[in-house]
Amino acid sequence: MTGRFVEPPGEDYDPRADRDWRPVTEDAPGVSDREPIGLRERLSLNRMGTFDWDLDDGVMDLDPGAMDVFDLRPDEYDGAPMSLVSRVPPEEALRLDEALAQALRDGHSSYGSYFRIQCRDGTQRWTHSQGRILHDADGMPYRIIGIVREATSELADSALLRSLQQERQRQTVMVQQTTAELARALSVKDVTRVLTDSGGARRFGADGLLLGLVENDRFEVIAAAGLAGEVPDDMMTSRLDDTLPLADTARSRRPLFLSSRSELIARFPRLRPYTEVLPKGSSAFLPLVAQDTVIGSLGLFNAEPAVQSPEARNLALALAGAVAQSVQRATLFDQEREFATGLQATMLPRRLPPLAGGAVTVRYHPASVGRDVGGDWYDVIALPQGRTGLVVGDVQGHDTHAAAVMGQLRIALRAYASEGHTPETVLVRASRFLAELDTERFATCTYIQADLESGALHLARAGHLGPLISNSSRHIDWPEVRGGLPLGLATAFGHDHFPETQLFLEPGSTLLLCTDGLVERPGHDISWGIDALSEAVREGPTELEALADLLSDQLWAAPGSEDDMALLLLHRLPGPGPATTPRLRLHVHQADPSGTAEVRSALRRTLDQWRAGAVAHHIEVAASELIANALTHTESGALVSVELLPGTPRRIRLEVEDRSSRWPRRRSPGETATSGRGLMLVEAFADRWGAEPRGAGKALWCEFTVPDGAQ
């Protein structure tokens, strides 16, 4: 309005009067200013047409105006409503069907709906349909007569168009999220996971995708998602030529957009045998270019034929650029990581020494995520007198410095062990070596000196996990092993003491050492991982290599551990002759007040390993009394031996030897006596007992029968 008063129009109303108007070139030729215009022509001039849908016969008649609204030629429509699918996308057809279904459910005589059609040139436009539903005498709908009209201009500012804007915003958010995930992807495997996980193709506005990389003038497909079947083997790797779309795109550096599967096969006849694998609809093949170098190409596939709009093409090219940058960055990361892990692998032993009477296998895996390598290591060392040293350790940190410290520490510990030192001495010297290095790192470690001929294990640990032992009956035991502080810290704090523990490995038994990467999981207590490891060993294969593979795959690789892992398995073979008697020997010094408690602790561990059951308590009490007698009534210490005797029933023999020739005397103490009950307890608990001379001294012995089925 101009703000001036406007009188109401009279009988000679002319909408052109007193108004500004612009001359326009008429796009409807052949219509004169005086020629009569029929109804159909009037509708057509307003981009409107009519339809007549016979529900009984399933035939829908469209007049020329309606055909024009749908952008259809006469030869493209056969009267069946389903013929409109070439113009009405599936989601829009659902919108129309729901509007009609709702009118039928509610008993209405009319319905209307806005929907989009896909024009011949690939553009979309809004259309409106309004129909009158005719019913017979029984109230059954039998015919629908209505109009269709172009409504793009009408909906320019409508709520429906705003919903379209919201949909585009949602797609933009999805693209941003995909770009963010690609930015976080470190390795090529991470990139392929982003592209192929649930909804990966949909993030690119596609139903399926293929990703391939250029490698030495060859093209290799490395990821696929959303296709009807697997990519044929001869399509996975190909020459960099024009016979396949991905390779051709990478070779030419030009994107390729095709509207249908038939157009794709016509352009690349080599794909004809694999028609069923390819979606029916449109496809786009985009070169992946990073720093002016083609590194691969990306293929996007849609279920429905369509001509991609300029907006869709630009979006696809932008996403291809993000993928290219991610793939290039991931490739460089993989190369760097391969170099780092290769360097670390050279620091681990290449070959393991042969073992007489046993077998050993090892596994090492770097962390499954992240750039840095770790400081986990293992070692198997040939020792004097036919013994074997077993080492598993972990240097603090996950970087190349940790790997470098690990290499130095492994060599030093191997040197100390090869000299034949006891496990405690080996760890003390290794701790002092680490403390003197120019580093603030510490390390945990378990070292075992194994004699496979006798089965004796002497071990010490520095802040590390103890061993797991599985016997021939698959009984799992985590023996209690005393330990010290981690290497380096122990020396810094002045507590470089690593008490030694003796265990016995029965024939047919397996010992396991590992680093915490095998049992630790974020969000779980370590006891959960230890229980899972115990169960896996109990239920796993008996063959050593198969068991190592199972533990690596099931407990480390499958959950995708963020830590590296070292694993060592030692199996003692059954000997060809009679089984060696399992034996534990400990010395209690005269001036060591804690010696008896240490012996009792070692006895408990050993008897539990031998599954002595309730008789273990009797043996422990008898050992305490005999040791007390030796320390009280002699001037020497005591040598304690306990062994599992062969034969049936199983028997355990306990001996306490001292340097005194004075023979023991059994007494009958009164009610108020404070001593004299030791031998009475031994006699009450043991099945047999006695004393026998031993050179300059004597030995008191007793035997205990282990009940059948004791656990």
| SS3 track for 321-367 | HHHHHHHHHHHHHHHHHHHHHHHHHHHCCCCCCCCCCEEEEEEEECC
For residue 710, the model assigns a pLDDT of: 61
Output the six-digit token pair for 595.
Answer: 């010696």
Q: Check residue 467 and give its pLDDT.
A: 95
How many Å apart are CA 678 and CA 623, to the nearest integer? 10
User: Three-state DSSP class for 312?
Assistant: helix
Q: Tell me: the pLDDT tens digits for 179-224?
A: 777 777 777 888 888 788 777 787 777 888 899 899 888 899 988 8
In three-state secondary structure terms, 709 is: coil
Residue 360: pLDDT band with limits 50, 70, 90: very high
Q: How far apart are CA 681 and CA 627, in angstroms?
A: 13
pLDDT at 556: 77
Residue 33: is its pLDDT beyond 70? Answer: no
Render pLDDT for 417-464 as a digit per residue (tens, 0 to 9). Answer: 998 899 999 999 999 999 999 888 999 999 999 998 888 899 999 999
Q: What is the pLDDT of residue 672?
A: 45
Percentage of the chain with pLDDT > 70? 85
- Pairing type for strands 483-484 and 456-462 reads parallel
Q: What is the pLDDT of residues 61-108, one digit of tens each?
A: 999 899 999 999 988 899 998 888 888 888 888 878 888 888 888 888
Mean pLDDT of the chain: 83
pLDDT score for 670: 47
| 579, pLDDT greater than 70 | no
Residue 325's pLDDT band, with cuts at 50, 70 and 90, is confident
Is the confidence at residue 361, as pLDDT, over 80?
Answer: yes
Model confidence band, residue 166 (pLDDT cutoffs 50, 70, 90): low
pLDDT at 2: 44
* Side-chain half-sphere exposure of 48, counting CA atoms within 13 A: 13
User: What tens digit of pLDDT does each residue of 270-320 get?
Assistant: 988 888 888 888 999 999 998 888 989 999 998 888 877 777 788 788 888
Looking at the predicted structure, is the pLDDT value of residue 534 above 90?
yes
Using the predicted structure, report yes or no on whether residue 237 has a pLDDT greater than 60: yes
Q: Which of the pair, 694 or 389, is modelled with greater confidence?
A: 389
Interval 135-157: pLDDT, tens: 888 888 899 999 999 888 776 55
**Could you read off the pLDDT of 473-514 as tens digits, one per residue?**
888 889 888 899 999 999 999 998 999 888 888 889 999 999
For 551-562, what is each residue's pLDDT tens digit?
Answer: 988 887 666 566
- Do the beta carbons of residue 593 and residue 637 sit within 8 Å? no
d(CA 446, CA 487): 10
Six token digits for residue 629: 């007698």
Q: How far is CA 501 from CA 424, 457, 481, in A?
A: 10, 8, 6
Residues 573, 544 contacting (CB under 8 angstroms): no
pTM above 0.75, yes or no: no
Q: What is the mean pLDDT of residues 331-355?
A: 75
Chain Cα centroid distance, residue 272: 37
